Structure 1
Amino acid sequence: MPSKKFVVDLYIRVSTDRQAREGDSLEEQENELKKFCDYRNYQIHNTYIERGRSGGNTNRPEYQKLIKDIKSRKVNAVVVKKLDRLSRSLLDFEHLVGLLQEHDVEFISLRENFDTTAAMGKAMLRVALVFAQLEREQTSERVKDVFAFRAEQGLFNGGTCPYGYDTVSKELIPNKQEKKIVECMFELFLKTKATSIVEQELNAMGFRNRKGQLWDRRHIHMILKRPIYKGIIQWNGGTHKGVHQPLVSEDKFDRVQEIFEERNFNSSRDRIKGLLKGLVICGKCGETLSPNYTKKKNGTIYRYYRCNSTINRRKKLTKCSVYVASEALETLTLDTILTYSTESKLAQIRRDIELKNQVIEKKSVVLSADIEARQLSLKTVKQKRDQYLDSLVTGGFSKDERDKITARIDEFSLEEKQTQAQLYKLEFEKTETSEKLLTIDSFKQAIVTFKFNHLKLSESELKQWLKDNILKIVYQENTVDIAFRLLEDSS
């Protein structure tokens, strides 16, 4: 019983100004694709030819016909000469691959050796999709940059429009009725110092929120705490002077915040913060040291760091009993960081960095040599495969001879795909290795900045500096060993 034919669609595209250059003419593409299908014994269902159309988008008549064939499962595979003939956008290509996989249709590109009928081809396709993911992330970064720029200019970045404002052409404009309610809200809170009373007063006066519902103290609390009402734009943890009209004066807003601080509106869960929370490791057992406190009968609060293994000894089966006063551990850590600003310590760090860089550079040289060798092997294999393929098409051979030549071509094709996959892996590894090279400058700048500014930093700012620059702090017997991110992340 004859085997079922493998049916394919051919897709050919060229821009008008490229038809006579680089061997990418419509005729040349069609001839090469048909030669390949003849060699593979594929049945051609349709040949879609796109003349003078850009590959930057999918708004192409013949491309849309190809998509219909895929969705109706009329073909087993789509064959192109080069990936950019089908699409110049990795994101569009990723969408197409998803469509192909959904409808069990394979994809073959001669130039890039993408052939998802084989396992190696599927692997190489996944590599290409990694770059699609990279393009998505870069697009996301560009969008973030635009939003950050708008915030720096004092512009509102969208989202739910704050109560008291309307948005006109992406700008905040005061809503007359809602503005009066916001002003009343601030005034009432300054008099009563309680959101629950403000809630009662607003509802008693017949005021309603934007949805026409009764006011809720949580919504009131959120409005009273939001700096946008004094003319400030918040974005990504930073604040910028807005171009919109404030609804309350800066003085009035700040007086409201002082009341919140006095009344201690902060959650009890935030009381045990700890400057070194999440950074300190017990040198005795390897567990984390967490901040805790004990309140004495006379009201005195004793703050300390406690090894987590002491919390549930039955479960952890350990005799560790490390407790250290918060102030002592935090002072010891800050003093130790300051020692890294001395010339002797910086010289030691410089030597460590040089040793690390020597190892990295040696590895990079080895990888470069491997890449050159693989590139040469790839070129040789391609030449041999093309020679056999040309002889098969043009020569007159018996069936046995054709079978032997075909088998040899398949061997070369497999070797080519394996070499290409190895080459991709080596290039990724070399890029990753090169990015690990260190300089003393960034470390020195961080330490010097800390030395001259640590006494001026607020607790939250100091905590953020520690989080950004320190990977872990190992405490043992009144000493700390600090692992800086810059030095450890490159290992």
Structure 2
Amino acid sequence: MFQLELMEANSHKNVGIYVRVSTEEQAKEGYSIAAQKEKLKAYCVSQGWANYKFYIDEGKSAKDIHRPSLELMLRHIEQGIINTVLVYRLDRLTRSVRDLYSLLDYFDKYNAVFRSATEVYDTGSATGRLFITLVAAMAQWERENLGERVKMGQVEKARQGQYSAPAPFGFTKEGEYLVKNPKEGEILLDMIDKIKKGYSLRELADYLDESDAVPKRGYKWHIASILVMLKNPVLYGAFRWGDEIIEDAFEGYISKEEFDQLQKILHDRQNFKKRETYSIFIFQTKIICPNCGNRLTSERSKYFRKRDNKHVESNHYRCQACLLNKRPTIGGSEKKFERALIEYMQNVKPRLEPIIPEEKQQDYDKLHQKIISIEKQRKKYQKAWSMDLMTDQEFEQLMAETKDALQKAQADLEQEQAFHKPKNPIDIERAKEIVTMFKESWSVLTSEEKRQTVQELIKQIEFEKKDRKIKILDIKFY
């Protein structure tokens, strides 16, 4: 997760050394973790700073400040553990002017000094703050220009028919291009034929489960994944790139006219289901109350919107158990939960683990600090004993006492980690499949199709609500 090193000292400077390297920069000698650490250690020695701690974010970009070790360092600044921040270069900390202002204000608030080992900044004067802001503005401009160039290159590759995502069902990849997979293609054409003959998605899933057909990943056919396959323009040789459809990119299985006919069949069936149902709740029975652990209930509300003088209906979720027991209820609108789901899916790829609540992370940090403190104390006892500053009996007694305290702290930490460890870890490939499928298809699904996807793939959703914003902490999949 992050690396941490600690050295003892008698200096009044408690230095937090922040080191960051992005995935792209890891191969560059000057930007490597080892290179930055070596130069920053030498800088501390030259300044007479003996008390320093490393906060290392490996494989992280500077596009925002949501990085594990940076967030830990900020908490330590607030707690008074750190009073000086040292970086190799300003762009190791941030490339955003807005984030720079936020960080400098934060440092000032808690009386922390900012230093760069390779640049001269005096943040205590107006001129110095202007200079550092100009440097950050140039770094932000450089990052945004690079991002635009990369995006333009990706768009051009897509327009040339290069497919950057994993191959969808019915295809394999030769280099960056899609080619038909004859064996999977037969299954795909059979699926299309069955839909045209009147099979429902549930009947089609049951039919495929009973056949010899095997999905690309996993062993069971799901309605949600079948729906994504049948709505994917790769069927006629096109694919989506953002909001753009790249036509005639490769050889498909059916014509554009046949694809449009298939979409009309699926759409008409969904409209028929909508007329039968009063309301469609995407997350029905899936959201867990953070207060009591019960599932939130879904309800339809109607209100008058003043800005356009319209009566509007919307879906909401709240905990009836908390309401009945006269406890504060935590809930929100379906739109807010949907936005939170999109944000979670966009950020879940690097880790595929649940997000730990901030309060629990602080508990972890305290236990880590306690363990480090006890280990330091034991080293001091060993040093004093070796210099004949204490008797053997005193040494044995102190080591025994600190051993018990150390074992208890380590046990407490393990217990906390075990409690928040996912109880049903899912297969990584299966998780990647779900996340990829979500990113590719969610924006084009109808409300009923979104509901089917959630009901089919998601077991439960855990969330927190702060400042009226909903944040999903963990999703358990089937």
TM-score w.r.t. structure 1 length?
0.36
Higher helix share: 1
TM-score where L is the length of structure 2: 0.37
Kindly name which structure, 1 or 2, has the bigger radius of gyration based on alpha carbons: 1
